[in-house]
Amino acid sequence: MQVPEQLRYTRDHEWVAIDGTRARVGITDYAQDALGDVVYVQLPAVGASAAAGASFGEVESTKSVSDIYSPLSGTVSAVNEALDSSPDLLNRDPYGEGWICEIEFTDPAETEGLLDAAGYRALTEG
């Protein structure tokens, strides 16, 4: 299972790449593996408000439907429209082409509640 060192993670299996006040969000390798083959992604709308810990999208797989939870509060500033026609990008490249959205976040203190790679590994292995 891949857990890139430079990313932050949620207990709900989202990853976060922080660049200033912008955060790119996706689901982890662990999450996509648990879901199985992804067949549909409901993306949040650009301009929508995101609240940390609140559901703002869904991933549907051959096994189940799972919510995507916002790791930070703010405004959705971009979505990965490639997922509309190729939802399997979440399986093939969860940390690259399979990103879900970007959030312009409003409370930098919320980033302190995210797990580092070691913390996420401990969560998934324990």
pLDDT reported for residue 126: 76
Global confidence as pTM: 0.94
- Indicate the domain borders of the chain: 8-107
Residue 116 has pLDDT above 90, yes or no: yes
Residues 4-20 pLDDT 10s: 999 999 999 999 999 99
Sheet holding 49-50, edge to edge: 8-9, 14-19, 22-27, 101-105, 74-79, 49-50
**Average pLDDT score over the chain:** 96
The CATH number of domain 8-107, selected from 3.30.160.270, 2.40.50.100, 3.30.70.980, 1.25.40.10:
2.40.50.100
How large is the average pLDDT for residues 76-101?
Answer: 97
